Amino acid sequence: MRDFVFPGGTAVVTGAASGIGEALAHGLARRGADLVLLDRDAGRLDAVVAAIRAAHPDRRIDAHLVDLADADATDRVAAELRRRHPRIRLLVNNAGVALGGRFDQVTLDEFLWVIEINFRAVVRLTHALLPALKAEPGAHLVNVSSLFGLIAPAGQAAYSASKFAVRGFTEALRHELVDDGVGVTSVHPGGIRTRIAASARVGSGVPRDEFEAGRKQFEKLLTIDPAKAAEVILRGVRRRRGRVLIGWSAKLPDLLARLAPASYGKVLALGMDRNTAGVPAPRRAAESVAPDPERSV
């Protein structure tokens, strides 16, 4: 498959109002792509659009407000995108949310809220826009999974379930779309400096002081600039990489999971004690409820 061509194509990015999504929007504009940006935060999304238009007045930008937790709203915006953009060269499903708490500390509604945004919205948008990708020669699909789509630490049952699902979905599509000429990339960021830790929900059964202790500890591990992460992703897209891991905080746990798939939890606990692993240790309440070090919607 030939290298991806950015100039002149239309790129759809979800979660574009902050973090990696915002950085991707700027990076795509610099590379000559027109943009369709989705987010639920009107103020931040307007600011991103204004900044890109000021820097790249020749780019076409289409912005849509949508809460991806609302299935009907997601379906409506997907239909609108199909109508307005029958040919799409790049779709980046980036939006994501976090929930702190063990499985027995969160309600079923809280758990399914994460699944709806992090996985089902990815499926809905991809299913709706796949014909537009197939219609555009050299198109590409990017689904942003997670470090926690590679490993599943205590306190991240909902988040890991959603991100492992994204990983499996993406890998299947990679194999299915080869003959259609559509490239597919699964992205697994490590400790990216975004708002997701601050904006994560707390499970109803999680003591607030435990969650705050875990959140503060986790925020210290968010060291990678979103702009750097976006550049790594876009380089992977250009080269048609099937999988992109960002930072050693993703690469080392990935290796660990490969070497010790059934027993890496004990190593993670030791790594957390040494402040190197970047993931919560099992059976330690203040660490097991911390949110994932990634993006936000």
| pLDDT at residue 293, rounded to an integer | 41
| pLDDT at residue 225, rounded to an integer | 87
DSSP 132-181: HHHTSTT-EEEEE--GGGT---TT-HHHHHHHHHHHHHHHHHHHHTTTTT
Q: Pairing state of beta strands 183-189 and 99-100?
A: unpaired
Distance of CA 65 to the CA centre of its chain: 18
Domain locations in the chain? 10-271
Start-to-end C-alpha separation, the chain:
31
Residue type, 96: G
* C-alpha distance from residue 284 to each of 96, 136, 265, 279, 288 (Å): 25, 49, 12, 12, 6
Global pTM? 0.88
* Dist CA 105 CA 107 (whole Å): 7
| pLDDT at residue 53, rounded to an integer | 98
CB atoms inside a 10 Å sphere around CB 52: 21
Q: Are 230 and 27 in contact (CB under 8 A)?
A: yes
- Coil/strand/helix, residue 183: strand
Q: Are 288 and 203 in contact (CB under 8 A)?
A: no
Residues with catalytic annotation?
159
| Sequential pLDDT tens for the chain (297 residues) | 899 999 999 999 999 999 999 999 999 999 999 999 999 999 999 999 999 999 999 999 999 999 999 999 999 999 999 999 999 999 999 999 988 889 999 999 999 999 999 999 999 999 999 999 999 999 999 999 999 999 998 888 999 999 999 999 999 999 999 999 999 999 999 876 565 655 667 788 888 777 676 666 666 666 788 999 999 999 999 999 999 999 888 888 889 889 988 888 777 766 555 443 333 333 333 333 344 444 444
* Dist CA 211 CA 291 (whole Å): 9
Output the 3-class SS for 56-92: CCCCCEEEEECCCCCHHHHHHHHHHHHHHCCCCCEEE
Residue type, 250: A
* C-alpha distance from residue 292 to each of 56, 147, 219, 222, 227 (Å): 33, 8, 9, 10, 18
Query: What CATH code is assigned to 10-271?
Result: 3.40.50.720
* Dist CA 62 CA 70 (whole Å): 20
Output the 3-class SS for 199-220: HCEECCCCCHHHHHHHHHHHHC
CB atoms inside a 10 Å sphere around CB 141: 25
* Dist CA 186 CA 278 (whole Å): 21
Q: Are 90 and 32 in contact (CB under 8 A)?
A: no
What is the residue whose two structure tokens read 């470090």? Answer: 147
| pLDDT at residue 196, rounded to an integer | 61
* Dist CA 276 CA 63 (whole Å): 39
Q: Are 239 and 183 in contact (CB under 8 A)?
A: no
